[in-house]
Structure 1
Amino acid sequence: MASVSRTTRRRERIMAVVNRDPMEAPHKTRTDALIAGGAGALSVVLALLTDPARTPGAFGWVLLIASAVPIAWRRRSPLLALLAMIPLLVPYHALDNAHAAPMPQTWIALYTVAVTGRPLRTLLTGIGVLSVMVTVVLTINAHQGLELLRISGWVVAVLFCGVDMRVYRQYMASVLERAERAERTREEEARRRVAEERLRIARDLHDLLAHSITLIGVQTSVASHILTVDPDRLDRHAIATALEDIADTCRGARAELRTTLEVLRDGGHDSHGRPGTEDPLPDLAGLPGLVRAAEAAGAQVDLAVHAPAGRLAPATGAAAYRIVQESLTNAVRHGGAGVRVSVAVVPDGDGALRVTVTDDGTGLPKDGSTPGFGMVGMRERARSTGGTLDAGPRPGGGFEVSALLPFQEGEPTP
């Protein structure tokens, strides 16, 4: 396993070097200086072995070794490095020295021009270099000129290799860029979903706790009033009714809170780790329960529900339920004792559901206190279904909440 891991890491390092832009490689000058030294050494070996009859003289050796020096700056200015080699190689070939000896530095310079430049520049450079080399050698030795022309295919192959490597690196760069863009998109989508889920949980907890705590507070006040107004004529039945209403409210709140916490704890999976089915959303069928809880707190509620002809989308039903719940909570909290509330949920046109909750109480507090999140939550729920919500005091007194929700016929649940 260790050898496989080392092999994998070595392969990854090699591919990283291959895919990396040569103009962005670290230690460019030091690396190119070593390459220039290696090319010069290889040229000396070729001059000694390939054609002993044309072994360079002292001046030829100077020209041959000097032609490898520009390779040290090949990545800073590839074309200038190649042009700097031409004045050195022209007299070298003109002296009829070993013509194959300067090939290493020539190939390296041509490859660098091809891998860093555009194809048109590479083509023109290759034609120019070959023309100069063949012309010079032909004027000296026709046989050597034809031989040089015959092996010029290697020069063309080097140029094509450079162009191919440049195209490959551009392709890999585009692939990496697309992968990074896709990763950023996934991360942004994940953050957006987390934010939406946090907002949904905040709305659900607010609706649940605010509604239940408000009802418990009102029912407790009723029991306290009965106990303190006339202790000599204790109405045990009224106290028992108030306490039972408090217990019912606590049980309902505890059950709904447990469901929410189980979803948060399990992450939407069952005990075996499989994706679980989502808990059913509240809908219009739960409105009578809200009315009974509000009436137990002292409100007088008139409920009128006319379901649309098509099947109501679960999100729309849940939004209508939560809007009515928050509206009743505000009416009980701010409307005063015996507040009258009218709840109407009826179709509005062909594709919308109108939810209207009006009361004759004093409305929201006007004492300058900081408003809560109930109104914000109702508007967000309406917007989440593509609907709108208006809320404010009524001209004749009281408060009105009116929401228009597109009911969108939902798909049957499998």
Structure 2
Amino acid sequence: MEEDETQHDTYWKHNLYLLQERAPKPKLVPCTSRIFNKPPQYGLEYHGLIERIDAAEKLRQMGEGAFLVRGSTRYADASTLCILFDGKVLNYKLYYDGCHFVADKRFEDLTLLVADGLIAMYIEKYAAEYIRKMADEAVYEQSPYSQYTKFNENQVRSAPSSTPKQPHEFVPFTFKMPHYCDYCRNFLWGLVQQGVRCNNCGFAGHRKCSDRAIDDCRPDCKYVKRMFAVDLTTLCMAHSVPVPPVVTQCVNEVERRGLNVEGIYRVSGSHDQMEKLRRQFDLGSSVNLGAIDDIHTVAGLLKLYLRLLPQQLVPFHIFNNVLNAFNSTRIPRERALRCRQALDGLTIVNLRTLHVILSHLRVIASYSELNKMSEENLATIFSPTIFCTGTVPSLPQQQHVLLHFLIVNPKVTEIN
């Protein structure tokens, strides 16, 4: 039976993440005049007491996302932040108390404040209706947190929990890595205080979604220490490992007894058994993959793990950079060098994990006479899982061709 690749493709909803990636980037409009009595918290972005019309002209010359700060004669405790968005000049009262702010969020860096604002405005422009409905349309019983705690309860049903259910203790939280809501499964957009997180159990979500969460906080369930559906860097830091244990164990087991198996990674395993193994990993149980009779189930578990990542192994902006590097030259050595430079944008954990998987796929392909899985076949299967392409590629085969190139060129992902 062929593997159903679509079953978990929409576990995390990437619409808002892709919008954030497309949002205008901040462009500082530098002041070329000498400004006296310039507030010490500002640099070249401060233009002094210039008129609105002059500020607007400077912004339009720089283009979408341009910003500058001008002095204010009306407010002694504030300046005016001017931003060009959607072809319009927007003016905000800008305060400073050790951090820059125009509303509740505080920023140590003004460019970060502008970037966060541009993201918020861009998403509001293109996804206001989607955002309004996302919490209403979510089914809490199907949320990642609810599913996890429900399974945990079933596992310990014979013994009462040491910690009773209780209300969540949500506080504003800044996620250093891309994060998704544990209620609606949508992306938490923005650069600081993107949402809230429970101090006790780690449940994270949008403010609006947290209002709908029921009193089912379970600090003893180790939700923050789970293995599946967690950002790679966060997971590896939490478990003090260089590469996710699921990846390491699956790769080792498939190479131990799956190299000669025809259709490895193409033929599906037992979905029920994969879900059971997933829960065992999540609960921190000792998992013996050698006891699993069907090696296709182990291979399927690796693909499931990659599909459930909140952000794909090669995120949208890195994929675009690598694809552009690949297409920029036909000289193999130069192409490999440029692709490597583009991949340097990955986090070290993502790069390590990508290297482990590509090395594994090379080993699998070296037995293709027996298992019928060539580099081309493996690239076709794994490219939708490894790459975040954003939308359907204009050339349907380009992601397959790119992954094939990475598989057969090991030095591209080597870590020095």
Query: Is TM-score (shorter-chain normalized) higher than 0.5?
Result: no
Q: TM-score range by the shorter chain?
A: under 0.3
Q: TM-score, normalised by structure 2?
A: 0.22
More helix by share: 1
Q: TM-score by structure 1 length?
A: 0.22
Larger relative contact order (CA 8 Å, sep ≥ 6): 2
